[in-house]
Amino acid sequence: MTDAARYLAEAELAVGTIPGVPADIQPRPTETAAVIGAGTMGSGIAMALANAGVAADLVDVGPEALERALARIRGSYAASVSKGRLTQDAADRALGLIRPLAGLEHVSRSDVIIEAAFERMDVKLAIFRELDRIAKPGAVLATNTSMLDVDEIAAGTSRPQDVVGLHFFSPAHIMRLIEVVRGRSTSAEVLATVNGLTRKIGKIPVVVGVCDGFVGNRMIEPYFREAEFLVAEGASPLEVDHALTEFGMAMGPFAMADMAGIDVRWDVVRRRAALWAPGDRYSALVERLVEAGRNGLKSGAGFYRYDPGSRTPVEDPSLHSLFESEARRQGVKRRHVSSVEIVQRCLLALVNEGARILEDQIVPRASDIDVIYVRGYGFPASKGGPMYWADTIGVARLVTEMAELESRLGAVWRPAPMLAALAAGGGRITG
């Protein structure tokens, strides 16, 4: 076993120790579960539960959405059987545990309720107000939000102690990571309950605090920022993605953005714009793509184009004029950008934000960040995660590189105080 593999194995064990949650605390029952929202994510969560033998009521407002969800679920099980990943008996057993039900009133007896509705605060608040009215006392009320404020959602109920975030990763029945979002009122009993349930269904739960984007999506923002700046400065999306997949990432940022949806990315950018400081440099590429109807894979074009029926990204020369226009708007001169610079800037952005997350005490351990990035975001396991990778390179060296980037590219590159202190004292992020 390599040092990185040993480190990750120990890190995955460590996430089971949750500050403030005694090891012997009695969890609540999890015999009955309901998933609200029959979209792709809700269907995947229901499958994840059923695959582990947990009966799952899949709830939506109308029969049409449920019919589409069942067709999607049946198709997924059929594909798994045809590829030899699952026996027909196992698929039939799991499918039999998923019960489609129209109307929220059906969750009134569920032990655990997981909301997987559209990622908008008004939508989630409306659902949780209704859950507060109809869910039985002691039911765990979980939201699958990927970045919204769990404390605000909990405050919409009279039982904030029962509310917790369960950020599943897509596809939910396959991806092993779950960010368990601990609100300021979430009880230790609820945390123990969802930790046990998520492990029962074969997931790795990492408890995180409330902030915009939690850990994974908070860190992905500066990573995307640098990728988009590098394209304005002269790299192509293909060059950026190739450099990072050669480093070992499972997918490059532009292929990832296309797969998730450029319109989804644009919603995030618009919401986060309020956090920018006056004069901050920003990229308008995503906005321009959405205006052009290039919403990613689902529309046949985003940062790449896609042939009909294909999921393979193809470089699109027609975007060169857009990149040149963006360079002029930002006041940068286009140039050759090396793969070394691409990897340096994207990864250092991850590490710097990870250090700020530690400073904000969103997670108690640097190794928690590494588990999240390896298991949820495709960071190469062979390199241990971004924080472990930073230690292997040397914090002092990385801080020197950040200081040079700050002198060229502005205050956004100022090293996090934690990193500066570690560099000065010869310390390590991961201890």
Asked whether residue 351 is domain-assigned, the answer is no
175, 78: one domain? yes
Helix (H), strand (E) counts: the chain: 18, 8
122, 196: one domain? yes
Q: What tokens does 365 get?
A: 């351990």
Q: What percent of the chain has pLDDT over 70?
A: 100
Q: How far apart are CA 139 and CA 142, in angstroms?
A: 9
Examine the pLDDT at 275 and tell me if it is beyond 80: no
Q: How far apart are CA 108 and CA 407, in angstroms?
A: 58
Q: How far apart are CA 237 and CA 188, in angstroms?
A: 45
284, 147: one domain? no
Asked whether residue 195 is domain-assigned, the answer is yes
| Average of per-residue pLDDT values in the chain | 96
Asked whether residue 112 is domain-assigned, the answer is yes
Instruction: Tell which residue, 354, 370, 360, has the closest CA to residue 402.
Output: 354
Residue 382: CB atoms within 10 A of its CB come to 12
Task: Give me the phi and psi of 277, to 5 degrees please.
Answer: -80, 150
Residue in 167, 242, 320, 336 annotated catalytic: 167
CATH number at 80 reads 3.40.50.720
Examine the pLDDT at 374 and tell me if it is beyond 80: yes
Per-residue pLDDT reduced to its tens digit, 123-158:
999 999 999 999 999 999 999 999 999 999 999 999
188, 256: one domain? no
Asked whether residue 230 is domain-assigned, the answer is no
Point out the domain boundary residue: 272, 299, 330. 330
Q: How far apart are CA 338 and CA 257, in angstroms?
A: 22
Q: Which parts of 56-149 fold into alpha helices (H)?
A: 63-82, 88-96, 121-134
Q: How far apart are CA 51 and CA 329, in angstroms?
A: 51
Per-residue pLDDT reduced to its tens digit, 333-362:
999 999 999 999 999 999 999 999 999 999
Q: Is 352 helix (H, G, I), strand (E, B) or coil?
A: helix
Examine the pLDDT at 62 and tell me if it is beyond 90: no
48, 106: one domain? yes
299-327: average pLDDT: 97
What is the domain count for the chain?
2
pLDDT for residue 153? 98
The answer to whether residues 191 and 23 touch, using CB atoms and an 8 Å cutoff, is no
Point out the domain boundary residue: 269, 295, 330. 330
Examine the pLDDT at 282 and tell me if it is beyond 80: yes
188, 136: one domain? yes
Examine the pLDDT at 279 and tell me if it is beyond 80: no
Examine the pLDDT at 287 and tell me if it is beyond 80: yes
Q: How far apart are CA 135 and CA 4, in angstroms?
A: 44
17-25: average pLDDT: 93
Asked whether residue 241 is domain-assigned, the answer is no
213-236: average pLDDT: 97
277-289: average pLDDT: 90
| Cα dihedral 96/102/108/109 (nearest 10) | -10
Asked whether residue 236 is domain-assigned, the answer is no
Kindly give, in sequence order, each residue whose CB lies less than 8 Å from that of residue 199, ignoring residues fewer than 6 positions away. 16, 205
Helix (H), strand (E) at residue 42: helix 40-51
161, 257: one domain? no
Active site residue 336: no
Asked whether residue 148 is domain-assigned, the answer is yes
36, 177: one domain? yes
pLDDT for residue 276? 78
pLDDT for residue 271? 84
Instruction: Tell which residue, 80, 45, 332, 323, has the closest CA to residue 168.
Output: 45
Examine the pLDDT at 431 and tell me if it is beyond 90: no
Asked whether residue 6 is domain-assigned, the answer is no
171-179: average pLDDT: 96
Which domain covers residue 74, as residue numbers?
18-208
Residue 338: CB atoms within 10 A of its CB come to 12
Instruction: Tell which residue, 200, 207, 204, 209, has the closest CA to residue 29.
Output: 200
pLDDT for residue 21? 94
pLDDT for residue 1? 86
- The pLDDT confidence band at residue 278, using thresholds 50, 70 and 90, is confident
Beta partners for residue 180, in sequence order: 166, 207
Point out the domain boundary residue: 273, 308, 330. 330
| Cα dihedral 181/6/249/44 (nearest 10) | -40
261, 204: one domain? no
110, 22: one domain? yes
175, 271: one domain? no
311, 172: one domain? no
54-74: average pLDDT: 95
